Amino acid sequence: MPTPTERQAERQTFSRRRLLADQTAATVDNSLSSSRNGEVVLGDLRLNLDTLQVTLGGRSLKLTVQEFDLLVVLARSAGKPLSQAELAQHLWHEVTPERIRHLSVLVARLRSKLADSKFYKLRTLRKRGYGLMLPPINRIEELKLAKDGLDVLDDILRYASTGAPIDSDDIERMKWYGVFYRKQTPGFFMLRLRIPNGILTSQQMTEIGSLSNQFGRGKIDITTRQNIQLRWVRIHDVPQIFESLRRVGLEYRQSGMDNVRNITGCPMAGLDPDELMDASPIAGAIQDVIVGRKEFSNLPRKFNISVSGCRHDCATSQIHDLSLTPAVKDGRAGFNVMVGGMGGEDADFARDLDVFVEPEKAAALCIGVIELFRDKGDREDRRRSRLRWLRETLGLETFRAELQARAGTLERAGTSQIERFAGDHLGVSPQKQPGLSSVGCLVPVGRVQGDDLLEFSRLAETYGSGELRLTNNQNILIVNVPEECLAALLKEPLLQKYSPQPSAWMRRTVSCTGQDYCQFALLDTKGSAMEFAHRMDELLPRETAVRVHWSGCQRGCGQHHIGDIGLQAARRRVGDEVVDAADIFLGGRMGQDPRLAVPVLEAVPLDELPQRVAELLRDTNDQDALPSA
C-alpha cells in the first residue's frame, strides 16, 4: 500500500496542478479585464470610452459626442428598453419637451448608423422607449434576451422551496445550472456537473456517489465529455445538492445550453510517460475564467473544447469546436489549433487554423476564439449556429485574421506531435512517475451505481493517491498506484465488475443516454450496445478492440459517425409489428486522413444485427472497416 509520505507527495502534486490552473486563470482574467478597461463591447459593436471611437464589425463609425453618449447608455442596458425620460436624464440631467424632441432626432440618426449590425438593433418599443435589442430570431434567443441563464438561480431556489409549477422558459434556463428536466422521467431532473479534464479527488467522487444514493436512486452516467450526470433528482433537493457540490469544489454552472461545455483532455494528463506536456491546468484555467460570467453565458450555441498534450489524441481533437493539440516549434513545446469540428446530422472534422500557441498563452487564445464565436456566430438558425458554420462563412484565413485582431499576433503552426489516434488508457499503464501505474477500468457504456463510485473512491485511497480520472470512452482510471499494490488492486471485487481487460468488442463500445432518459432516442442504446458486444464476441472474436459507437437518433450524441462501426437507432416494420432496429455505418476514423463512417445498411432489426454485421465484415473484407492493430 502507498505510505502516508507517498500519498502526501501525490496530493501535493494534485494541489500544484490546481494552483497552476488558478494562476493561469488569474493571468487570463487580468488580461481580459485590462483589455476591457475603457471599452464597451456588444456583439460586433465596440466603443472606446477614452478615444470616443466606435467600430461596427471592424468598420469605424463617425458619431457626434451626443450620439456616442447615447450609444454608451443604450449599450450598457442592452436588451432592456429605457424610457425617453430615463435617457434624457442620463444625457442632460433634465427632462423637458425640448430634450425629448432632440432625443428623437439623435435616436433616428443613430439607428441609421447602426443599421448594418448583425446583432443589436436600435428599436423603438411602443410605450417603453428605446433599446438596443437583438431581433426576436428564435425562442432560445428570445428567452436569453429576456433574462440571462445565470439569473435563474433565485427562480430555481423558489421552485425548490414552494413546489410551484415551473415556467417553460425557466425550464430551459435551468440548464445554465446543470438542471435538466427529462420528459422520460416526469417530476425528476438530471443534474450535469463540470469536471475539467475528468480529474476527480476521492473526496469528490465519494460526494457524487453519496448524493446519487441519497437523492438520485444511485443512477449515474459517465459521458463522452469526461463528465458525470446524476439521474432521478427532484427539484426540492437541488439546493442541498448544489451546496454539497460546492463544499467539495465541484462545479455545475453553464454545463448545458449555449455555453462552453465541460473541457476535455487526456485522462492521463501529467502521468503519461510519452506526453509532450501536462495540459490539464489549461482546461481548469479556461473553466475558471468563463464560469459564472455573463460575458460567456450567451453564446450562439454550445461550444466544445479539448486541450491535450497527449501524443495519442485520446481527447478526439477532430470532433471539437476548438482543439489544442501537442506541437513543437523552434524547440518550444506548445499547441497547434484546430477549429470547427462537430457531430450530429451535419458532422464534420475540425480544420487546422495554422496557429501555434505556447502553453502560457493557450487559455487566453481559447477565450479569444470563444469571444469571436460569441460576437460573430449565427444566432438566426440554430441548425447552423455552431462554430463550424462560422468557419465556413469566414474561411480559415479570415477567421484567423479576426482572431488575430482580438488576441494579438499569431504564430504559424508548429510540427504536430500526435503519433496515433484514439487511445483508451484501459488496463495497467506505467506512469512517468517511477514505480507508479494507472489502472483503467471499463465502465460498460458509462452507466454506474452510486455504491460503485464509493468503492472506486475507497480503492483510490487504499491503493493510490486518492485521485481518479474519467475518460471520454466513459471509463474510470485509478492513478498513482505503486507497483507493489497492483496485484492486490486487480483482485478487488469491483475490478471483476469493471474490468481493466475487457473483451475486444466491449472495450471501445460507446453509447448515448438512450431511451431510458432521452426523449429523442428510439431505443435503449446502452442495453442494446452491451448485448451486441457480447454477441459479437461469440460470432467474431478478435484481439484488437473495435470502436463501436451507438446513437439513439440522428443527433449523434453517441458519435456514431466516427466509429469503426457506427449504429444509429431506427425502427422497422416486420409484418404487423414495428420493431427496434439500427442503421449500420462503417469506416469512421480520425487521423491524417479522417473520414466519417458511411451508411451501408438501413433499419436492420436488433435481433438480426450481430449476424448481419459479422456477415458484412466477412463479405466486404474491407481492411479499412476495422483496425488491424
Q: Does residue 426 contact residue 499 with C-beta atoms inside 8 Å?
A: no
Catalytic residue among 111, 158, 293, 302: 302
Q: What confidence score (pLDDT) does residue 595 get?
A: 94
pLDDT band at 128 (very low <50, low <70, confident <90, very high): low
557 annotated active-site? yes
Distance CA 314, CA 426 (A): 12
Q: What is the average pLDDT value for the chain, to the nearest integer?
A: 90
Predicted confidence band of residue 161 (pLDDT cuts 50, 70, 90): very high
Amino acid at 248: V
Answer whether 495's CB lies under 8 Å from 573's CB.
no
The separation between CA 434 and the C-alpha centre of its own chain, rounded to angstroms, equals 33
> Residue 372 — very low, low, confident or very high, per pLDDT cuts 50/70/90?
very high
pLDDT at 29: 52
Predicted confidence band at 8 (pLDDT cuts at 50, 70, 90)? low
Which pLDDT does position 533 carry in this prediction?
97
Give 171's pLDDT tier (boundaries 50, 70, 90).
very high
Residue type, 279: A
Percent of the chain whose pLDDT exceeds 70: 91
pLDDT of residue 23: 56
Cell 454550445 -> residue = 302
CA–CA gap between residue 170 and residue 168 (Å, rounded): 5
Query: What torsion do the CA atoms of 369, 383, 527, 502 make, to the nearest 10 degrees?
Result: -30
pLDDT digits (tens, 9 = 90+) for 102-123: 998 999 999 888 887 766 778 8
How many CA atoms, within 13 angstroms, populate the side-chain half-sphere of residue 13? 18
Asked about 301 being catalytic, the answer comes back as yes
**DSSP assignment letter at 81:** -
The one catalytic residue among 178, 558, 563, 588? 558
Cell of 430: 506505467
Q: Is 599 helix (H, G, I), strand (E, B) or coil?
A: strand
pLDDT tens-place string over residues 313-344: 989 999 999 999 999 999 999 999 999 999 88
pLDDT at 35 over 50: no
Instruction: Give me the mean pLDDT over the 561-587 stretch.
Output: 95
Query: Averaged over 411-430, what is the pLDDT?
Result: 91
> What pLDDT, on a 0 to 100 scale, did the predictor assign at position 17?
52
pTM over 0.85: no
pLDDT digits (tens, 9 = 90+) for 184-214: 999 999 999 999 999 999 999 999 999 999 9
Torsion of CA 260, 266, 267, 270, to 10 degrees: -110
Taking residues 407-417, report their average pLDDT: 96
Bigger pLDDT: 629 vs 306: 306
pLDDT of residue 78: 79
Q: Is 127 a catalytic residue?
A: no
Average pLDDT over residues 378-397: 93
**pLDDT tens readout for residues 533-572:** 999 999 999 988 999 999 999 999 999 999 999 999 999 9
Domains 43-133 and 507-620 share a fold: no
Q: Given this model, what pLDDT does residue 440 score?
A: 98
Confidence of residue 447 (pLDDT cuts 50, 70, 90): very high
The active-site residue, picked from 46, 173, 192, 194, is: 192
Tell which residue, 72, 71, 99, has the closest CA to residue 84.
99
Helix (H) or strand (E) holding 54: strand 53-56
| Joined grid coordinates for residue 532 | 451486441
Q: Which of 144, 341, 557, 587 is catalytic?
A: 557
Q: Which residues of 48-68 are buried (b: 16+ CB within 10 A; e: fewer)?
A: eeeeeebebeeeebebeebbb
Report which of 453, 532, 467, 535 is spatially closest to residue 498, judged by C-alpha positions: 453
Range 258-269 average pLDDT: 97
- 129, 552, 566, 587: the catalytic one is 552
Residue 14 confidence (pLDDT) above 60? no
What percent of the chain shows pLDDT beyond 90? 74
- Is 311 considered catalytic here? no
CATH superfamily of 507-620: Sulfite Reductase Hemoprotein, domain 1 (3.30.413.10)
In the annotation, is 192 catalytic?
Answer: yes
CB-facing half-sphere around the CA of 115: CA atoms within 13 A:
4
Helix axes 84-92, 97-113, angle to 10 degrees: 90
- Say whether domain 280-416 belongs to CATH 3.30.413.10: yes
Active-site choice (99, 144, 173, 301): 301
SS3 content of the chain, % helix, strand, coil (to 5): 40, 25, 35
Rounded to whole angstroms, how far apart are CA atoms 220 and 446? Answer: 8
CA gap 350, 450 in Å, rounded: 36
Residues 311, 329: Cα–Cα separation, whole Å: 16
Three cell numbers, residue 457: 473512491
Higher pLDDT, 375 or 25: 375
Strand partners, 53: 48
Task: Check if the beta carbon of residue 353 is closer than 8 Å to that of residue 396.
Answer: yes
Largest CA distance in the chain: 87
**pLDDT value of position 28:** 52
Domain at 43-133, CATH from 2.40.50.100, 1.10.10.10, 3.90.1150.10, 1.10.8.60: 1.10.10.10
The residue assigned the cell 436512486 is: 217
Note if 552 is an active site residue: yes
Q: Which helix (H) or strand (E) holds 603?
A: strand 598-605
Q: Where are the domains of the chain?
A: 43-133, 280-416, 507-620
User: Binning pLDDT at 50, 70 and 90, where does residue 133 land?
Assistant: confident
What single DSSP character describes residue 78? T
Tell me, what's the pLDDT at 449?
A: 98
